[in-house]
Amino acid sequence: MKKILKGTSFFVVMLMLVGLLAACSSDDKKNDNSKTDNNNNNASQGTNDKMLSGSLTISGSTSMEKLSNIAIEAFMIKHPNVTASAEFIGSSAGVEQVLAGAVDIGNASRNLKDSEKEAGAVENIVAIDGIAVIIDKTNNLADLTQDQLISIYTGAITNWSELGGSDQPIVVVGREAGSGTRGAFEEILDIEENVVYANEINSTGGVMAKVASTPGGIGYVSLDILDDTVVALKLEGVEPTADNIKGGSYFLSRPFVMATVGEISEQDEIVQAFFEFLKSDEGKELITTVGLIAAD
């Protein structure tokens, strides 16, 4: 009896394993099917405009991963015969690749350098990333300079009294490593190597809550989610508003550049269609869904 039981149990386990594998693979197939279905549907819509076919390659900034992926996905649904791909190897490497002709578009999460422009790269700003610096409501400070902000986040200044505030220690709050907001914040201030956090919180809402509930707290969040539980500081006297960021007077922001060699009008029609798509209302909506400000 025992032997039989052993035999059956082994058999049952094997069966389950096989079943599981089968379930997985059939799921994959289903997904594939639904994807192609989708594409076919869209294809029939797309044929009304213009049938583009070919490939689009993008390479560059890791910070632009979200934006690029969501954009090429939507673009491929619109133009099913185009295969678009993006890889994320860093801003400078991306611009190098586009200059070398290896890719169609080079992503850079900064303004292009003069040397890059001289080599023929054209700076197409598709979106702007803005970050607000927030403090708790009991804090009476309203304005910080860039140097003060750097000193706070590198631990050189630890008390608000050193900045003309009340005698209250500064509680430095930030995001976890890997967060795009943290990457942008540290990159703009150039403090990636020596930043010191007292709190690393893994969500924007968490940062807001911690700062709101901690007297002397300071944190940074994406501009689009600010609410009145905290106070957004002016930086160098400039309010963090979408207009100021577009105007360039608010320094805690950075352009998302999709560089091309030569003007957009000189590109092949797929690249032109891609930029047109980004500038359309649909494209702008995509840009705002990933927490960015659409460029005009």
Residue 201 engages other proteins in binding (rule: CB under 8 A): yes
- Residues numbered 141-160 forming contacts with other proteins, rule: CB under 8 A: 155, 158
Residue with tokens 């583009």: 52
Residue 190 engages other proteins in binding (rule: CB under 8 A): no
**How many helices and strands in the chain, by DSSP H and E?**
10, 13
Residue 214 engages other proteins in binding (rule: CB under 8 A): yes
Tokens representing 295 are: 């460029």
Residue 58 engages other proteins in binding (rule: CB under 8 A): no
State the Cα–Cα distance between residues 275 and 126, nearest whole angstrom. Answer: 8
Tokens representing 59 are: 């390479």
Would you call 288 helix, strand, or coil by DSSP? helix
Stretch that binds other proteins, among 53-61, 67-75, 115-123, 190-198 (CB under 8 A): 190-198
Residue 25 engages other proteins in binding (rule: CB under 8 A): no
Q: Please state the separation of Cα 96 from the chain's center in Å.
A: 21
Stretch that binds other proteins, among 12-20, 70-78, 111-119, 236-244 (CB under 8 A): 12-20
Stretch that binds other proteins, among 111-119, 166-174, 244-252, 280-288 (CB under 8 A): 166-174
Stretch that binds other proteins, among 122-130, 144-152, 211-219, 245-253 (CB under 8 A): 211-219
Residue window 77-116: x/- pattern of binding to other proteins, with contact defined by CB under 8 A = -----------x----------------------------
Residues 65 and 129: beta-carbon distance below 8 Å: no
Q: Which residues does residue 147 pair with via DSSP β-bridges, in sequence order?
A: none
Residue of 199, 241, 244, 272 that binds other proteins (CB under 8 A) = 199
Residues 155 and 196: beta-carbon distance below 8 Å: yes
The secondary structure of 92-156, three-state, reads: HHHHHHHHCCCCCEEEECCCCCHHHHHCCEECCEEEEEEEEEEECCCCCCCEECHHHHHHHHHCC
Q: Is the CB of 123 or the CB of 200 nearer to other proteins? A: 200
Contact residues for other proteins (CB under 8 A)? 5, 8-9, 12-13, 16-17, 62, 65, 88, 155, 158, 169-173, 176-180, 182-183, 192-193, 196-202, 209-210, 213-217
